[in-house]
Amino acid sequence: MTKRLLETRARERGISLNAYNLELLRREVGTSSAKKKNGLERFIGIAPFDSKVEEALKDQRKPTADKWDSNGL
């Protein structure tokens, strides 16, 4: 059962079972070359969606004359 699960996950990533196992071991012992995390991952997705905030951000993304520099860029 464990082997099948590992094989499935390796296949989903498009890598060999051996490469997947090495990835797991490296991550477990802390020698992974994967991008370091900053500890904020636990907060992903916990804030409720607020349409007012989204609207305010959308308005800020609109180009306006006061956002252009003197060269018109």
Cα–Cα distances in angstroms (integers) from residue 1 to residues 7, 8, 14, in the given order: 10, 11, 20
Give the model's confidence band at 5: pLDDT under 50 very low, under 70 low, under 90 confident, else very high. very high
Give the model's confidence band at 58: pLDDT under 50 very low, under 70 low, under 90 confident, else very high. confident
Residue 45 lies in a domain: no
Residue 51 lies in a domain: no
Q: Which domain holds residue 2?
A: 1-33
User: Is residue 71 over pLDDT 70?
Assistant: no
Residue 38 lies in a domain: no
Pick the more confident residue, 71 or 1.
1
Residue 13 lies in a domain: yes
Residue 1 lies in a domain: yes
Residue 27 lies in a domain: yes
Question: Hey, CA dihedral for 27, 31, 39, 47, is it positive or negative?
Answer: negative
Residue 17 lies in a domain: yes
Report the number of distinct structural domains present in the chain: 1
